[in-house]
Amino acid sequence: MSIVSHLSASGDVMKIGIQGRFDFGSHQDFRESYDKNDSNVKEYNVDMAKTTYLDSSALGMLLLLRDHAGSGAVIKIINCNKDVFKIFEISNFDQMFEISAAK
Amino acid sequence: MSEAPQLKILITEDNIADCLIINKLVKDQGYQTIVAHNGLEAIDLFVKEKPDIILMDALMPKMDGFEAAKRIKLLIGDDFVPIIFLTSLNDDVSLVSCLEAGGDDFLSKPYNSIVIAAKIQAFKRMVILHRTVQTQRDEITRRNEYLLQEQKIAKKVFDNVAHLGCLGASNIKHLLSPMSVFNGDVLLASRKPSGGMIVFLGDFTGHGLPAAIGAMPVAEIFYDLVAKGFGIEKIIYEINQKLNTILPIGFFCCASIVDINYSWERIKLWNGGLLDILLKKNNGSVRPFKSLHLPLGILSTKEFNAECVEYDMKVGERVYLFSDGIVDLKDSEEKEFSLNGFADYLLKSDDSDEVFLHILEQEKLSFERNMSNIDDVTFVEIKMISEDVISNKHRLVQNSDLRGARDWSMSFEMFNQTIRDFNPIPLMLHITMEVPELRIFNNDVCMVLSELITNGIDHGLLGLDSQLKNSANGFQQYYNLRNERLNNLSGESLHISLRHLPDATGGVLVIRVVDTGEGFDFRAIDLDIPKASQMSGRGIPLLTRLCESIVYEGNGNAAEAVYRWEKTQDNNLL
């Protein structure tokens, strides 16, 4: 599991890539990935292209990110594989986040 | 000395000159020394003085170093007290036998002070390291015991609050891992006072104490509100609100909730974030009910939606609820034991015992394959049965010593908006339960209240025809029509009055419901026990068995039920 984040040059788009299992063990890393100087961020892109697994604590972490982002920023969860997408579907998280499957 | 306390070194040497030399060498390094002259003395001093390191001559009178080392090693137990042999023997065999006797190292004579100092220093480091590890290990053991003890107590409290309710009922089968308390699953079931039951299966985020703590208020709200006669939507609403308030962001509870109505052969379902609820029908097909909502505890009351799905469920049909863990079960071909797989299995098997065995086997396999990865698995099957048989025996009760309200009357009138939005049954039930002797008849009273009030609204005010419910899609039509007409109510009212009076033999509760509707031809109703086709009638035949009398008046828009209870003659009857 590794989490890499990248702030766009303009400082308004934060990209967070999650590789491998996204579960309780990722808590610290995920938090650190966005908990930086990001007051200008208007959009978070959580890239799940390389995410193989997602559990309910991961869903909880996304809620924390949502809380952190506040109403001034959107969160897009992109490139979800079939299994990951299904978890979002069951939990109906698409009611709270923009979620898209891998192309 | 700032670091470890001064080490005590036991020197065992029969040769006086050697003994003096080595004693001086060791003392000069700053260690405390004690001296023995043979193996027996060494053992004796070891026990009395508890040295940290032992220097042991191999060949000595009375008992040699090999034997003494063996015995001391037995006494040492878990501790680490290195034994360094002092020997003039140089052959490999002798040196090996030093180590075999339990020695940790050896020093060859003649002594070299630099080598002695270095060896003692090296062992000193090992002794200190060993002690640190040992202290930490003991601390961990102690804490773990403490934690287990705490968990035991916590589990007792938990079991008392989140008890299993009516999970023992003959139409329920369930699988709940014994560790479920601390891995976040909660399974609750309770009979509704009006008949039927509600089952709640929840799966909290994460594991351990936070999950268990969250489950307690859920159980409390659930059992409290079901017993008071509240409907499933209200219960879901209240649980969500509670969890939304108490859980930190990022924690929530996925849940499936089913309300089973025996007399109407209907279920109401709500699924937020759990796997499909499956309904195995008598015709062999399987109907899935997808999760349509976010889990409990995420949305505020304003955003939350407690709307349920309703569906017909005939006697003998079975409904299945699952916790998440079930997808982690792998089937024998190593592929994910998916819910689709389970649905396929359900399609094949009509035997519920077989279905359970299948799940148990999967769980066992998965457990054997990967112990650490197994999530909690909770699984429950509920079968639709026909309405509980209600006995017509005399309702005998001991005179209660409790103070309470025994002679009173009240009336409550609802108008359009309240009729649409408010369920008066919990309120009415609350008042009737102030009669101490009536408490054990909670179910009867609730049933009579619900039937009369539902009749008054559905048939009296809304003019709905219960025959509608008998056709194939009738229920849906019935509900659509009901909602539509509820929203268009105007100028109507429903008047409920209750009166309770004690009499010579016990007491009488009179429930009167009057609606402003057009009434109906009450003479046409068959007061006999309903045949299956009449199940969705006005429930009146059922009431005639519970009540002393049911009387319709006016155009049929006023109904009065008299419910009687009697005191026992002798106090041992109950």
Taking only the tens place, the pLDDT of each residue in A65-97 is 999 888 888 999 999 988 888 889 889 999 999
Q: What percent of chain A lies above the pLDDT cut of 90?
A: 36
Asked if A90 lies within 8 A of B291 by C-beta distance, the reply is: yes
Q: Which residues pair with A19 in a beta bridge?
A: A2
What pLDDT shows up at residue B370? 54
3-state secondary structure A8-45: CCCCCEEEEEEEEEECHHHHHHHHHHHCCCCCCCCEEE
What pLDDT shows up at residue B375? 54
What pLDDT shows up at residue B354? 78
For the cut 50, the answer to whether the pLDDT of residue B49 exceeds it is yes
For the cut 80, the answer to whether the pLDDT of residue B401 exceeds it is no
Lowest mean pLDDT among B371-385, B497-511, B515-529: B515-529
Reported ipTM: the value is 0.88
Residue B272 sits at the chain A interface (C-beta within 8 Å): yes
pLDDT digits (tens, 9 = 90+) for B266-299: 899 999 999 889 999 999 888 999 999 999 999 9
Burial-class residue B253 by CB neighbours within 10 Å (0-12, 13-18, 19+): buried
Asked if A56 lies within 8 A of B203 by C-beta distance, the reply is: yes
Residue B337 sits at the chain A interface (C-beta within 8 Å): no
Average pLDDT of chain B to the nearest whole number:
82
Q: What percent of chain B lies above the pLDDT cut of 70?
A: 84
For the cut 90, the answer to whether the pLDDT of residue B92 exceeds it is no
CA distance A9 to chain B (A): 30
Closest partner residue to A60 among B205, B275, B294, by Cβ?
B205
Q: Which comes out higher in pLDDT, residue B354 or B278?
A: B278
What pLDDT shows up at residue B239? 96
Asked if A56 lies within 8 A of B272 by C-beta distance, the reply is: no
Asked if A91 lies within 8 A of B205 by C-beta distance, the reply is: no
Residues of A with CB under 8 A from a CB of B: 24, 56-57, 59-61, 63-64, 67, 90-93, 95-96
Residue B217 sits at the chain A interface (C-beta within 8 Å): no
Q: Which residues of A touch B273 (CB under 8 A)?
A: 90-92
B382 in Cβ contact with B171 (< 8 Å): yes
Residue B298 sits at the chain A interface (C-beta within 8 Å): yes
Name the CA dihedral angle for B162, B168, B172, B177, rounded to a multiple of 10 degrees.
50
Q: What does the alpha-carbon distance between residue B99 and residue B238 come to, in Å, rounded to a whole number?
A: 72
Total count of domains within chain A: 1
Q: Which residues of A touch B292 (CB under 8 A)?
A: 92
For the cut 90, the answer to whether the pLDDT of residue A47 exceeds it is yes
For the cut 90, the answer to whether the pLDDT of residue A55 exceeds it is no
Q: What confidence category does residue B363 fall into, taking pLDDT thresholds of 50, 70 and 90?
A: low
Number of neighbouring beta carbons within 10 Å of residue B319:
24
What pLDDT shows up at residue B295? 95
Asked if A56 lies within 8 A of B274 by C-beta distance, the reply is: no
Q: Which of A50, A45, A19 is nearest to A34 (CA)?
A: A45
Asked if B249 lies within 8 A of A93 by C-beta distance, the reply is: no
Which of A30, A31, A91, A93 to mutate to test binding with chain B, by most B CBs within 10 Å of its CB?
Answer: A91
CA distance A92 to chain B (A): 5
Q: What is the average pLDDT across A36-52?
A: 85
Residue B214 sits at the chain A interface (C-beta within 8 Å): no
Q: What does the alpha-carbon distance between residue B297 and residue B239 come to, in Å, rounded to a whole number?
A: 8
For the cut 70, the answer to whether the pLDDT of residue B372 exceeds it is no
Strand, helix or coil for residue B324? coil
Lowest mean pLDDT among B150-154, B371-375, B495-499: B371-375
Asked if B249 lies within 8 A of A63 by C-beta distance, the reply is: yes
Asked if A57 lies within 8 A of B206 by C-beta distance, the reply is: yes
Q: What confidence category does residue B95 fall into, taking pLDDT thresholds of 50, 70 and 90?
A: confident
What pLDDT shows up at residue B398? 57
What pLDDT shows up at residue B523? 65
Residues of chain B numbered 92-111 and touching chain A (CB < 8 Å): none
Residue B250 sits at the chain A interface (C-beta within 8 Å): yes
For the cut 60, the answer to whether the pLDDT of residue B394 exceeds it is no
Domain that includes residue A94, residue range: 2-101
For the cut 60, the answer to whether the pLDDT of residue B390 exceeds it is no
Strand, helix or coil for residue B291? coil
Closest partner residue to A60 among B251, B272, B275, by Cβ?
B251
Asked if A63 lies within 8 A of B250 by C-beta distance, the reply is: yes
Q: What percent of chain B lies above the pLDDT cut of 90?
A: 36
Q: What is the pTM of this model?
A: 0.71
Residue B456 sits at the chain A interface (C-beta within 8 Å): no
pLDDT digits (tens, 9 = 90+) for B328-345: 444 444 444 455 567 777
Whether the link from the prior residue into B110 is cis, omega within 30° of 0, is yes
What pLDDT shows up at residue B181? 60
Closest partner residue to A91 among B249, B251, B254, by Cβ?
B254
Q: What confidence category does residue A4 fall into, taking pLDDT thresholds of 50, 70 and 90?
A: confident
Number of neighbouring beta carbons within 10 Å of residue B471:
10
For the cut 60, the answer to whether the pLDDT of residue B188 exceeds it is yes
Q: What confidence category does residue B327 fall into, taking pLDDT thresholds of 50, 70 and 90?
A: low
Locate the chain B residue with the closest alpha carbon to A96.
B294
Residue B454: phi, psi to the nearest 5?
A: -60, -45
Domains and CATH numbers, chain B: 8-134 (3.40.50.2300), 162-383 (3.60.40.10), 396-567 (3.30.565.10)
Number of neighbouring beta carbons within 10 Å of residue B40:
16
Locate the chain B residue with the closest alpha carbon to A60.
B250
Closest partner residue to B324 among A24, A56, A60, by Cβ?
A56
B132 in the Ramachandran plot: left (φ > 0), alpha (ψ -120 to 50) or beta? alpha
Q: What is the average pLDDT across B483-493?
A: 92
Residue A8: phi, psi to the nearest 5?
A: -65, 160
Closest partner residue to A56 among B254, B293, B294, by Cβ?
B254
Closest partner residue to A64 among B206, B250, B294, by Cβ?
B250
Asked if B294 lies within 8 A of A56 by C-beta distance, the reply is: no
What beta strand segments (E) does B25-104 contain?
32-36, 53-57, 83-87
Q: Which residues of B touch A67 (CB under 8 A)?
A: 249-250
Closest partner residue to B250 among A61, A90, A91, by Cβ?
A61
For the cut 50, the answer to whether the pLDDT of residue B195 exceeds it is yes
CATH number for the domain spanning A16: value is 3.30.750.24
For the cut 80, the answer to whether the pLDDT of residue B253 exceeds it is yes
Locate the chain A residue with the closest alpha carbon to B292.
A92
B432 in Cβ contact with B509 (< 8 Å): yes
Locate the chain B residue with the closest alpha carbon to A86.
B275
Asked if A92 lies within 8 A of B272 by C-beta distance, the reply is: yes
Q: Which comes out higher in pLDDT, residue A36 or B74?
A: B74
Name the CA dihedral angle for B17, B18, B23, B29, rounded to a multiple of 10 degrees.
130
Q: What confidence category does residue B427 fall into, taking pLDDT thresholds of 50, 70 and 90?
A: very high
One-letter amino acid of A24 = F
Locate the chain A residue with the closest alpha carbon to B325.
A55
CA distance B358 to chain A (A): 24
CA distance B299 to chain A (A): 10
Locate the chain A residue with the closest alpha carbon to B184.
A56
For the cut 70, the answer to whether the pLDDT of residue B462 exceeds it is yes
For the cut 90, the answer to whether the pLDDT of residue B201 exceeds it is yes
What pLDDT shows up at residue B332? 41
Closest partner residue to B294 among A64, A67, A95, by Cβ?
A95
For the cut 90, the answer to whether the pLDDT of residue B308 exceeds it is yes
Residue B291 sits at the chain A interface (C-beta within 8 Å): yes
Q: What confidence category does residue B484 fall into, taking pLDDT thresholds of 50, 70 and 90?
A: very high
Strand, helix or coil for residue A8? coil
What pLDDT shows up at residue B235? 95
For the cut 70, the answer to whether the pLDDT of residue B489 exceeds it is yes
Q: What does the alpha-carbon distance between residue B506 and residue B102 come to, in Å, rounded to a whole number?
A: 87
Q: What is the average pLDDT across B91-105?
A: 83
Q: What confidence category does residue B167 fall into, taking pLDDT thresholds of 50, 70 and 90?
A: confident
